[in-house]
Amino acid sequence: MRTTKPDFRFAVPLAPWCEAWDDAAGMLRVTLGPLVDLAARLWLAQIFFVSGVLKTTTWVTTVYLYTAEHPVPGLDPTTAAVIGTGIELVCPVLLAFGLGTRLAALPLLLTAAFLQFTYRELTDHLWWMALLGLLVVRGAGPLSLDRMIAGHLAGSAIPGGALWLRLAGFLERWLAPVWMAMVRCGLVWVLWSAGFAQASAALQAVGAPLCLLLAIGLATRPAALLLALAGTLGLPETVALGDTVLRLLLLLTFAAQGAGQLSVDRAVMVPLFARLCPGLSGDPAWLADAPRVVIVGAGFGGLAAARALRHARARVTVVDRRNYHLFQPLLYQVATATLSPADIAVPIRTLLRDQPNCRVLMGRVSDVDTDGRAVVIGERRVPYDYLVLATGARHSYFGKDAWEPFAPGLKKIDDATAMRSRILAAFERAEASDDEAERRRQMTFVIVGGGPTGVELAGAIAELARQSLREEFRAADPRTARIILVQSAPRILPVLPESLSAAAARSLAALGVEVMVGARVEAIDEAGVTIGNQRIEARTVLWAAGVMASAAGRWLGAERDAAGRIVVGPDLCVPSRPGVFAIGDTAACNGADGRPLPGLAPVAKQQGEYVAQAIRAASEGRRAPGPFRYRDLGSMATIGRKAAVADLPGLRLSGAVAWWLWGLVHVAFLVDLRSRIAVMFDWFWSYLTYGRSTRLITGAEGGGD
């Protein structure tokens, strides 16, 4: 068998374009595909279910239709009406949930075909048949119950589970390509004959090549997207074109999933791209003796670097002491019982499972042998040619480490769940106490640090106390809780413009949060906190004031700044350590203005992508990219319900508009579709009801036996 030569040196200049094309196709498949599948199932379900409900309410007319309009051969009208109505009431429900999708779609497909060929020919019937046929041969997408149970069906107690899986595989392998080719051609025929042929000459000039491309399955995804745009905006609404939504769903299906096996894309373009860019071929021989890239840390920076090396001739190893990637910007919402840890954490292996040149190791790095070019994990040594240190940061108490047991910080899931238990248990202890002074101490919360984390924590705790818990206690009144935000600087959110800091302070005050600026914490103990000369009795003190880089700088013996971050060069390389890079919170890197870049997720992601480019350039003998330049896309912070501030390039926002924008941006930055949907659902429920979905007290705070 022919294999790609391992020493291929990217002589073909089209390789980057092939990679970009493949990345775009993958993004459409992963992000658009599940949503289009769900939308198609729901749209078809409502069409048939509404029809079934109407038939039950006009039963005499329904029986008449099966008698005179479209009788079913071999069945009396009443029996046919019962069967047909039952199909339209039961199958759409299964279709909507994606349970037994193929079995539910098949009767509906037969119903659509029966109506088309025995009752009335309508383009809508053809669209029903096309979409239902795709569901029969391909099954439901990821957002379905079928996909959730498919992996366990063969070994389950469901009769014929293994047989059903084999049948589904047969349909997808042999019938799906044929059906998709038929649907493509039928869709193009209707679009042209009933739409573009009657349109203006300019629209015909656009539609003709796009229809041809879709029909033969060449550049299918962009052709389908452009046809969806042209067909929605340019074509008139006519009966011959059918339901616009159904037509759009069909086009978006091909945009997301591609043309299928029987297409020029699959027969010619995929092999051609694999030849031009061996990273797309999946040929393991191509990776033989490839450079070894070790990435320590699977945060935003490390994950961005690994993903950017997807098509590189490199053997990538991602090492992390945990098995999940954490979306830290929403960690405070776990701490305040709005989100579950699973909503903001995804297994690293899940995120990188489609990247054949990457493996994941779970372990704690204890040292780096720069002379032997190896990362030390316990007794194990992992050799590297290029090393990327993306180890993040931990809490810094500015030399007052004795405060940590009394003022926990927020950097990992364990911190968030412990903080959640600490906050909720304070209200429970206040309810159980008969001492009014102790009750006040229990319901006094002090947050040290007025950056984004501190501001968001203060606002979330205030909403929890004044809204979510207000009617659930009898002796203690959560609405009387005292939330104090302490900031040593003259204002909160000092990285934002002064006007936005003032807006954030006003929003916090509206929630009942006391903001103390220019105040320095002198002492923290189990009974409270001393701020200047003022003593505040508080059982719950939370730390959001500072961070310290990980031990990566000590592993290398490299130059570090006051926060322990490794001082790197303009190319993010560690001086005198060839092939070693530091990014994110691990690196001390100055921006274009000469000031250190902040420890934000966008900074780490851009640095990870840049380092991947530099590694590829070095390993492939190409010119190195220029110095790293951070593209500042702005900063945001949310204070509470419908209150946020946003400092964007050329635009400053506060209030409800900034809050909606903050939510959209954070949902978009979540790394997988399941997390986006779960977070949106929890936020929607919380917005409507003020409810908190994960008010669990676990661990030591929970007590018990």
- The residues annotated as belonging to the active site are 456
- Helix (H), strand (E) at residue 439: helix 436-442
- CA 232 from chain center: how many Å? 29
Q: Which residues contact 688 (CB under 8 A, 6 or more apart)?
A: none
Cβ neighbours of 36 (radius 10 Å): 22
Q: Is 296 helix (H, G, I), strand (E, B) or coil?
A: strand
Output phi, psi for 294, to 5 deg. Answer: -110, 125
Q: Which residues contact 608 (CB under 8 A, 6 or more apart)?
A: 300, 301, 302, 303, 304, 305, 306, 308, 388, 390, 583, 584
* CB-based contact 637:504 (threshold 8 Å): yes
Which residue matches tokens 């106390």?
465
- Residue 572's SS3 state is coil
Q: Give the integer Cα–Cα distance in Å for 41 and 135.
A: 9
* Structure tokens, 691: 């409810």
Asked if residues 277 and 300 have their Cβ atoms less than 8 Å apart, the reply is no
CB proximity list for 421: less than 8 A, separation 6 or greater: 696, 697, 698, 699, 700, 701, 702
C-alpha to C-alpha distances, 295 to 91, 129, 598, nearest whole angstrom = 49, 49, 21
**How far apart are the C-alpha atoms of 465 and 462, rounded to whole Å?**
5
What is the rounded distance in angstroms from the CA atom of residue 197 to the CA atom of residue 159?
A: 52
3-state helix, strand, coil split of the chain in percent (to 5) is 50, 15, 35
> Would you say how long the chain is, in residues?
705
Is the distance from CB of 637 to CB of 644 less than 8 angstroms? Answer: yes
Distances (CA, A) of 24 to 32, 33, 84: 11, 13, 43
Sheet holding 365-369, edge to edge: 365-369, 374-377, 380-383
β-bridge mates for residue 587, sequence order:
566
**CA–CA distance from 303 to each of 308, 388, 465 (Å)?**
8, 11, 37
Query: Quick check: 485 and 516 in contact, CB under 8 A?
Result: yes
User: What sign results for the dihedral spanned by CA atoms 28, 31, 36, 38?
Assistant: positive
Structure tokens at 544: 């959001």
Can you give 49-118 as a three-state secondary structure string?
Answer: HHHHHHHHHCHHHHHHHHHHHCCCCCCCHHHHHHHHHHHHHHHHHHHHHCCCHHHHHHHHHHHHHHHHHH
